[in-house]
Amino acid sequence: MTDWTPYTARAKDWFESLRDRITAAFEDIEREAGSDAAFEYTPWSREEEGNDNPGGGVRGVMKGQVFEKVGVNVSTVHGHFAPGFAATIHGADDDNPGFTATGISLVAHMANPHVPAVHMNTRFLTTGKAWFGGGADLNPPIPYDEDTAEFHAAFRAACAAHNPTYYDRFRKWADDYFYIPHRGVHRGVGGVFYDHLECGDEGAWERNFAFTQDIGKAFLEVFPKIVRRRMATAFTPEDKRTQLEWRGRYAEFNLVYDRGTLFGLKTGGNIDAILMSLPPEAVWS
């Protein structure tokens, strides 16, 4: 049986380096707008009875002129799923509830309603199996076809470099996943989403890790371009109202349907880090 410990460490190092590159890029955008906003980092430690090494993470949040609220979190946790919940996790059950998870999670809510909000995360988990998951999706209150096309093109290229079937599969998965059934609407204009990309051996791990890295790189390449394109666009009170109503929909999805939110709450994660995805302000009609 493969010892995934050193591979988890490599994935953790990548997620932390990706965080540092992304946060630097976002702070650069704030400087261009004349703002001195910067990320504030808060380490946190997980607790689990009888576990000497439960892990933890670092929550990073910036509130600026362009990024009204953006969170970029990295965590690495080890432990056991609660009875009942284990059966809902790939490769785990009540007889084998142990897990390790490391990943990066990002959500950006923008000050200007013409700039799309965005979500991105990638992760590596081990239970009775080992796998990667992740993706990114664009969430514009006021959609622009140009932005949507560029965002999808970046991830189409990242997918094509690894498997010709990935983009179509993972775009559909994003469309199906980021959907609000009680509203009958999608959360945004999609992107890619994948999960349970299994690593049956070391070779598969390397391939899936390389793909996951390219997803992160694609996000870092495309999203700042979209932000710069829209961040100086004039907007009206009606535009802002549209944004705040849309944020309400975003909050509904993350609190009712998002599996990542549930995973964090069920595994003793940091509450502030888990709920950093929620917008700073929203309205409901």
Q: Which residues are catalytic?
A: 119
Length of the chain: 285
Q: How far apart are CA 79 and CA 219, in angstroms?
A: 30
Q: Report residue 1 as tokens.
A: 């049986």
Is the Cβ–Cβ distance between 255 and 275 less than 8 Å?
no
CA distances (Å), origin 76, targets 111, 120, 143, 145, 201: 31, 17, 35, 37, 22
At 42, is the secondary structure helix, strand, or coil?
Answer: strand
At 46, is the secondary structure helix, strand, or coil?
Answer: coil
C-alpha closest to that of 250 among 118, 146, 114, 70: 118
Q: How far apart are CA 229 and CA 146, in angstroms?
A: 10
Please, which residues have CB within 8 angstroms of residue 25's CB and are 6 or more apart in sequence?
Answer: 220, 224
Find the largest Cα–Cα distance for the chain. Answer: 59
Q: Report residue 236 as tokens.
A: 């009206």
